[in-house]
Amino acid sequence: MPRRRGVMSERLKYELADELGFLHKVKDGDWGNITTREAGSMVRAAIKRAEEAMAKQGPG
């Protein structure tokens, strides 16, 4: 089964990890070191950013 392409850019993932306080766990590129809770926090933060970006664009 082919792997799905990531939705978040690598840059965004590292940026969010830094903001959420677990960058030290992923600096070596091993995302398997984060907890499920941390991964969920990262997804919620990415969604919040996307919603804020869409709100700034205004009605289309």
Domain ranges in the chain?
A: 10-55
Task: Indicate the pTM of the whole model.
Answer: 0.79
Tokens matching residue 11:
């840059």
pLDDT in tens, 4-59: 667 889 999 999 999 999 999 999 999 999 999 999 999 999 999 999 999 998 77
Supply angle C-alpha 31, 40, 20, rounded to 5.
70
Tokens matching residue 25:
């766990």
Calpha distance 6→48 (Å, rounded): 18
